[in-house]
Amino acid sequence: MAAGRRWPTRRWPTRRSPPPLTTSPPRLPSPPPPARAGVTATLVGAIPFEGIKFGANEFFKQRLPRGADGRTPPVYSLVAGAVAGTLAHVLTHPLDTVRRRMQISGAAGSSLVYKNMVDCVRRTIATEGVGALFLGIVPTVVRAVPNLGIQFWLYELLKLQLKL
């Protein structure tokens, strides 16, 4: 702004309200489709995954030997957590596959664009078969076993330290 120059101001009459806006307020641009594609699938997949993971962990912990204090020793939680995480990943992997496919459709020159989750599942099964929903399950499980085993082991150690 140049020195000495002021913004133009307009004074409204004191008894009248300002004239109504003739245009709608500016809207923020929405993110491009690939950035928001798969968000629903992510949310739909996260809730069952966490529910299965924690529910299966409690189920398996109840079947493990207990210590003198009546609690499952934290080391056994490592095993229960690893098995629970494996089960949760296997059962929810198709949702993860749908999420990934929706996120990459239309990106990097890809012409395949899914309308929604159901469309993605239908097209995937029709073109590649049901097994395509489980592509990548082995590396996912190999990663999940130590990850979730350690997660639940630490969870039980903290509960024991905090006397919860």
* pLDDT of res. 164: 78
* pLDDT of res. 24: 66
Of all residues in the chain, the percent with pLDDT exceeding 70 is 73
pLDDT, tens digit, for every residue of 67-99?
A: 888 877 878 888 999 999 999 999 999 999 988
* pLDDT of res. 128: 92
* pLDDT of res. 61: 87
Question: Which residues are CB-neighbours of 80 under 8 A, at least 6 positions away?
Answer: 57, 60, 61, 64, 72, 152
Contact status, residue 123 vs residue 61, Cβ threshold 8 Å: no
* pLDDT of res. 117: 85
Which range, of 29-43, 58-72, 100-114, averages the lowest pLDDT? Answer: 29-43
Contact status, residue 153 vs residue 75, Cβ threshold 8 Å: yes
SS3 66: coil
Query: Would you say residue 147 has pLDDT above 80?
Result: yes
Residue 29's pLDDT band, with cuts at 50, 70 and 90, is low
Candidate CATH numbers 1.20.1440.230, 1.50.40.10, 3.40.50.150, 3.30.2290.10; the one for domain 33-161:
1.50.40.10
* pLDDT of res. 15: 62
pLDDT, tens digit, for every residue of 92-141?
A: 999 999 888 888 876 766 666 788 888 989 999 999 999 999 999 999 99
Q: Give the number of other CB atoms < 10 A from CB of residue 34.
A: 16
The overall average pLDDT reported for the chain is: 81
